[in-house]
């Protein structure tokens, strides 16, 4: 999408005109997702793409950085930079996350070994009761992946074949249902 010499368009763009921004999204989405796709896949690519357009819609200072020329090229460069930033963060976080995940799993294994058979049965019955009484069936896979198997969000989203943003939403809803179930018990 190129807008040479369109002073009114640029002013409307900088002002955040809804119609202009909608058109930018429709015309530039493919360029942005293609640029991000060179570096990222799956939920991460989708997250970065959404971040670019979120900034475009919500941040006037961000829009003011574009002074004309090819909007597609500008947005593709912004997206590429955000994708690189995400990759750098992931590389820095990876060893620490892996260590924490391993520690958490080792701790869970220790607790499981120490638990009596009766405790294990009681926990399984509680989980099954929660499933039957409160958990919507469509959120069962998220409950299994995040709460029972304790997979990291990226891994769970990839395994379930859903966007990470969807997984996060469902996880928050399941957590609220679970808290209500555990705190209120049979009252509801």
For 127-141, the DSSP string reads HHHHHHHT--GGGHH
pLDDT at site 5: 47
pLDDT in tens, 119-136: 677 878 888 999 999 999
Domain locations in the chain as residue ranges: 7-88, 115-187
Architecture of the domain spanning 7-88: Orthogonal Bundle (1.10)
pLDDT of the residue at 4: 43
Q: How far, in Å, are 30, 52, 72, 138 from residue 26 at the CA level? A: 8, 13, 11, 31
User: In terms of pTM, does the model score above 0.75?
Assistant: no
pLDDT of residue 159: 92
Confidence label for 2 from pLDDT (cuts 50, 70 and 90): very low
Answer yes or no: are the C-beta atoms of 2 and 70 closer than 8 Å: yes
Q: Report the chain's C-alpha Rg in angstroms.
A: 23
pLDDT of 48 higher than 60:
yes
- Which tens digit of pLDDT belongs to each residue from 122-171? 878 888 999 999 999 999 999 999 988 888 988 999 999 999 889 999 99
SS3 58: helix
Residue 20 clears pLDDT 80, i.e. is over it: yes
DSSP state letter for 83: H
- Is the pLDDT reported for residue 65 higher than 50? yes
> Where does 115-187 sit in CATH, by number?
1.10.10.10
98 falls in which pLDDT band (50, 70, 90)? low
């Amino acid at each position: 999408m190129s807008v040479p010499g369109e002073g009114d368009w640029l002013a409307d763009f900088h002002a955040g005109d809804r119609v202009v921004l909608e058109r930018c999204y429709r015309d530039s989405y493919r360029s942005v997702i293609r640029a991000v796709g060179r570096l990222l896949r799956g939920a991460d690519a989708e997250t970065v793409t959404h971040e670019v357009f979120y900034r475009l819609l919500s941040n006037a200072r961000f829009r003011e950085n574009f002074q004309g020329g090819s909007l597609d090229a500008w947005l593709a460069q912004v997206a590429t930079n955000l994708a690189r930033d995400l990759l750098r963060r992931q590389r820095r976080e990876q060893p620490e996350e892996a260590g924490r995940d391993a520690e958490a799993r080792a701790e869970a294994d220790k607790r499981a070994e120490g638990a009596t058979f009766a405790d294990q049965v009681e926990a399984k019955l509680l989980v099954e009761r929660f499933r039957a009484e409160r958990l919507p069936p469509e959120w069962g896979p998220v409950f299994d992946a995040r709460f029972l198997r304790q997979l990291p969000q990226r891994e769970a989203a990839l395994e379930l074949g859903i966007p990470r943003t969807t997984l996060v939403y469902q996880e928050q809803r399941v957590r609220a249902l679970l808290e209500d179930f555990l705190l209120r018990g049979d009252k509801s």
